[in-house]
Amino acid sequence: MSASGIGTSALLAFQRAIGTTSNNIANSATEGYSRQRTELSNLTPQFLGGSFQGQGVQVDTIRRISDDFVNTQLRNSISDQSNAELKASLAGRIDDLLGSSSSGLTPVLQDFFGAGQDLANDPTSSAARTVFLTEAESLAERFASIDRRIEEQRDIINGQIRTNVDEINSLTEAVAGLNREIVSKSTQGTPNDLLDQRDRVLNQLAEKVNVRITEQDDGAVNVFVGNGQALVLGGNNRELVAQSLTGDPRSPDIGLATSGDPVNISRFIQGGELGALLETRTGIIDEAQNTLGRLAISIGAEYNQQNNLGLDLGGQQGGDIFGIGDPSVRGVPGNNSEDVPDVEFGDVRDLTTSDYRLSFDGAEYQLTRLSDGETTTLDFNGGTVAEPVDGLVIDVDDLGAEEGDQWLIQPTRYGSRDLSVEMTDPGRIAAAGPSLQASADENNTGMATVDGVEITEEGFDPGVLENPVTVNVVDNGGLSYEVNGSEFAVDPAGTEIELDGWTLTLSGNPDAGDSFVVELDRDRPGDNRNMLAMNDLSDERLVGGDRTFGDGYNSLLANVGTRTRQAQVAQESADAQLEQARAQREAVSGVNLDEEAADLIRYQQAYQAAAQVISVSNSLFDTLLGAVRR
C-alpha cells in the first residue's frame, strides 16, 4: 500500500479513536455509562523487495470496558442497600408507635392495674368501680388504637408491594425488549450503548428485588428471582402478581403468573425493596399484631375467668368484663368446599403468636404451625372435635371437606382489635370472694349440727351454688346422703360431705330424714378477696405460660427494638458496601477525564501526523508527475 493509503488508514482510525474519546468525555457524568476504547490492529503486511512492509492500521472494534463480576457485585450491593434502608425505615415507624408514651400500651396497662388496686382498697366504692371499668375501656381502646395504627402501616406496605410488583414487571419487560434489540444488532457489532442501557435497567431491577443474571451465547440475559423462578428468558418476560394466595385478604402474596393459577413465590423473595416489605410485614407487622392480640385475649380471658369466680355487690356470681373475638378462619383460594371449621379458644395460656394452616388429605386433618413448620395430626377421638392444640379447639362437624382443602387460621391476629368491655354496671364487678354458709333444718330430729362449711377447691365456681343445695340424710346408720336427688355414702369414720369443690362438716349423729342447706354467703359487702386475686393476675406468668402481661408487651417492644437496631446497623454496612461497589465499578468502567484528555491529545497528534503523511505523499506524487511532464 502506498504512503498515501497508509496515511489514510491512520487518519480514519484516529478519527474514530478521537470520536470514541469524545464520546467518553461527553458521557463522563452519565449514570451507568461504561467507557469505550477503540481497538486498533495493523493491516497484514505486504512482501516487497525481499521484506515485509506494513500496510497501515485498522479499527477492530469499539470495546466496552466492563467486568461482569464487578457488575454483579454492584447489583447485589444495590439490592442489599435498598433492602436495609427500607427495613430500617419501616421498623423505626413500628418501634416509635409501640414505644411512645402517648400511643403505646404500657401507660394505660399500668392505669388499669392501678384502678384494680384502688378498688381492692375500697370494694364498696361506686367511684372506684366506675374508674375500674373506665380504665378497662381505655385499655381496650388503646389495644384497638394500636391495632389500627399497625393496620395503617400494613396498608402502606401492601400498597408499596403492589407498586413494586408493577415496577418489576415494567423493568423485566424492558430487559426482554433490550435483549431482542441487542441480539438483533449484535450481528453488526457490539451495541455498547444498549448493553449499558440494559445494565442500568438491571440495576433498577436489583433495587426492587434480588436477582440472578445469566448470559446466553447470543448476548441476551436471563433474569431469575427467588429460588430460581425465571422473570426473563431471552426476549420473553413473565409477570408477577400481588394477590391473596393463602387466604389472608390483608396480606397479598407474590405470585408468578402462569397459564393457570399464579404460583406463590413469596417465601422465596429476597433482597431489594420488595424483600424488605415482605420481611417487615411478616417479621414485624404480623408478629406485632399477633403478639398484641394474644396479650389482649389473655387479659380479657383471665380477668373474665377470675371475675366469674367472685360475687358482685348484689351477691351474685360475677360475669364477663371483656368481650373477646373468635379466631379468624378463612379458606384458601381453590378449596373444593366453601365451609370453614369452627375454631374456638381452649386454654388461652397455651396460645402462641403463630398463624396456622389446617389441611385435609382425604383421611386426616393436619395442623401446621407456620412459625416453625411443626405439623400435628389432629386427634378427634372418634368425634368431630379435636384434642386442643396450642390452645385451639377445632370442630370439623358438617365441614364437607375434600382432599386438598386448606384453611388459614389466625388465632390472635385480630385479638387486640376485637377486645371490648361488655360490662356496663360497675356493681357487677365481683370484688368479693365466694363464701359459704350452712344451716340445719329446724325440723331435724337427730343430734347432728353444722360444724362448718368451706371451699376446698382452688378456682371454685360459685355457679354450682347459684341455687342453695339441700343435703338429705337417707340412712343414718350407713351415713348415706342424698344431694339434689343423687345418693352417696360418706366415710363412717367421719361426717364430712365433699361435693363440687366444697365440704360440709357435721358433728353429732343425724337421723334419717334430717336435712341441711348449703348456700352462698351473699352478704359480704367489704370482702375484697376476689379483687385481690384479680390484681394478682398482673404478676402471674399467664401469657404463653411464661410471661406476665407487662412482660408480654415488653418482649414485643424489645423484639421490635432489636430488629430496628439490627436494620439500622445493616443499613450502615450496606451503605458502605454500596459505596465501595460503585467505586470498584467506576475504577473499571468509569470515565477518567485526565486519561481521556491525554488520549485526546495523543490521538490528535497521531491524526495530525497521519495528515502530514498524506500531505508528504501527495507532494511526492506531485513532484513525480512534474518530472514526468518534463
Residue 423 pLDDT > 70, yes or no?
Answer: yes
Q: Alpha carbon 102 to chain centroid distance? A: 25
Q: How far apart are CA 531 and CA 117, in angstroms?
A: 8
- pLDDT band at 404; cut points 50, 70, 90: very high
* Residues 279 and 344 both lie in one domain: no
pLDDT band at 570, cuts 50/70/90? very high
Q: Which of 84-93, 395-404, 481-490 has the highest mean pLDDT?
A: 84-93
Burial of 629 (0-12, 13-18, 19+ CB in 10 A): exposed
pLDDT at 469: 85
What are the phi and psi torsion angles at 456 (to 5°)?
A: -115, 0
495 and 555 inside one domain: no
482 and 554 part of one domain = no
Chain-centre distance for alpha carbon 378 = 27
Sorting pLDDT into bands at 50, 70 and 90, what band is 409?
very high
What is the pLDDT confidence band of residue 179, given thresholds at 50, 70 and 90?
very high
Residues in the chain: 630
| H helix or E strand, kind and range, residue 376 | strand 374-377
Asked if 323 and 334 count as a contact pair (C-beta separation under 8 A), the reply is: no
pTM: 0.86
In DSSP terms, 368 is beta-bridged to 357, 375
Is 425 within the bounds of a domain?
Answer: no
Note whether 279 and 375 are same-domain residues: no
Could you write out the DSSP letters of every residue in 44-86?
A: PPEEETTEEE---EEEEEEEE---HHHHHHHHHHHHHHHHHHH
Indicate whether 623 pLDDT > 90: no
- 296 vs 625, higher pLDDT: 296
- Per-residue model confidence (pLDDT) at position 461: 83
User: Tens digit of pLDDT for each residue in 234-261?
Assistant: 999 999 999 999 989 999 999 999 888 8
Residue 146 has pLDDT above 90, yes or no: yes
Q: Do 240 and 92 belong together in one domain?
A: yes
Percentage of residues in the chain having pLDDT higher than 70: 96
Number of domains composing the chain: 4
Whether 260 is in a domain gets the answer: yes
Q: Quick check: is 607 in a domain?
A: yes
Task: Give the Cα separation of 454 and 435 in Å (integer).
Answer: 7
Q: Which of 406, 358, 348 is closest to 386 using CA atoms?
A: 358
In the block, which residue shows the cell 357435721? Answer: 506
Residues 173 and 120 in one domain: yes
The answer to the question of residue 293 being in a domain is no
Residue 476 or 48, more confident? 48
Handedness of CA 587, 590, 594, 596 (dihedral sign): positive
- CA pair distance 378, 369, nearest whole angstrom: 13
pLDDT grade for 489, boundaries at 50, 70 and 90 = low
Of 2 and 6, the structure prediction assigns the larger pLDDT to 6
Residue 404 backbone zone (phi > 0: left; psi -120 to 50: alpha; other: beta): left
Which span out of 180-194, 291-305, 524-538 was modeled with the highest average pLDDT?
291-305
CA atoms within 13 A on the CB side of 250: 18
- The three-state secondary structure class of 275 is helix
pLDDT band at 408 (very low <50, low <70, confident <90, very high): very high
Residues 508 and 578 in one domain: no
Residues 6+ apart with CB under 8 A from 94: 150, 153, 284, 285, 288, 560, 564
Separation of alpha carbons 256 and 234, rounded Å: 17
HSE-up (13 A, CA, CB side) for residue 123 = 24
Q: Which three cell numbers stand for residue 73?
A: 457485585
What pLDDT, on the 0 to 100 scale, is given for residue 202? 97
Any domain includes 532: no
Q: What range does the domain containing 41 cover?
A: 3-64+590-629
Verify that 11 and 147 share a domain, yes or no.
no
Residues 6+ apart with CB under 8 A from 592: 35
Q: Supply the pLDDT for residue 524.
A: 74
What is the mean pLDDT of the segment spanning 552-581? 94
Instruction: State how far the Cα of 292 lies from the Cα of 420, in Å rounded to an integer.
Output: 14
Q: What is the mean pLDDT of residues 462-466?
A: 81
Burial 88-114 (b: 16+ CB within 10 A, else e): bebbbbbbebbbeeeebbbebbebbbe
pLDDT of residue 479: 61
Lowest pLDDT segment from 106-110, 189-193, 201-205: 189-193
Does the residue 253 lie in any domain? yes
In tens, the pLDDT along 526-548 reads 889 999 999 999 999 999 989 99
Residue 23 belongs to a domain with what CATH number?
A: 1.10.287
**By the 8 A CB rule, do 311 and 318 touch?**
yes
Q: Does 196 share its domain with 124?
A: yes
Other beta carbons within 10 Å of 138: 18
What is the band of 601 on the pLDDT scale with cuts at 50, 70, 90? Answer: very high
Q: Rounded CA gap, 335 and 127, in Å?
A: 54
Q: Please state whether beta strands 502-507 and 486-489 pair in parallel, antiparallel, or not at all (unpaired).
A: unpaired
**pLDDT score, position 453:** 84
Q: Please give the pLDDT value at position 222.
A: 97
Statement: residue 113 has pLDDT above 90: yes
Alpha-carbon distance of 419 to 227, in angstroms, equals 41
571 and 604 part of one domain? no
Q: What is the pLDDT of residue 381?
A: 86
**DSSP of 415-469, one letter per residue?**
HHHH-EE----GGG---BPP-EEEEE-TT--SS-EEEEEEE-STT--GGGGSS-E
Q: Which three cell numbers stand for residue 512?
A: 334419717
pLDDT at residue 610 is higher than 60 = yes
Whole-number Cα distances in Å, 121 to 124, 526, 616: 9, 10, 116
In terms of Cβ atoms closer than 10 Å to its own Cβ (0-12, 13-18, 19+), residue 321 is buried
Confidence check: pLDDT of 476 > 70: no
Question: 539 φ, ψ to 5°?
Answer: -105, -5
Residue 381, in any domain of the structure:
yes
The C-alpha cell of 243 is what? 394477590
Which of 19, 81, 26, 31 minimizes the C-alpha distance to 197? 31
Q: Which of 487, 520, 553 is the last residue of a domain?
A: 520
- C-alpha 392/C-alpha 376 separation (Å) is 12
pLDDT at 577: 96
Mean predicted confidence (pLDDT) in 374-381 = 93
Q: How far is CA 16 from CA 13, 277, 505, in A?
A: 5, 49, 115
Whether residue 304 is predicted with pLDDT greater than 90 in this model: the reply is yes
> Which of 268-277, 564-573, 616-625 is least confident?
616-625
> In which band, very low, low, confident or very high, does the pLDDT at 281 lie, cut at 50, 70 and 90?
very high
Q: Amino acid identity of 401?
A: A
DSSP characters over 331-374: EPTT-S-----EEEES-GGG--S--EEEEE-SS-EEEEETTTTE
Q: Answer yes or no: do 205 and 343 share one domain.
A: no
Pairing of strands 236-237, 229-233: antiparallel
pLDDT, one tens digit per residue, over 10-31 is 888 888 999 989 998 999 899 8
426 inside domain: no
Give residue for cell 430460581.
228
Whether 100 and 201 map to the same domain: the answer is yes
Residue 266 has pLDDT above 90, yes or no: yes
Please say if the pLDDT value at position 103 is more than 60.
Answer: yes
pLDDT of residue 535: 97
pLDDT digits over 54-91, tens only? 788 888 888 999 999 999 999 999 999 999 999 999 99
What pLDDT is stored for residue 622 in this prediction?
A: 65
pLDDT one-digit tens code per residue, 511-531: 888 888 888 887 777 889 999
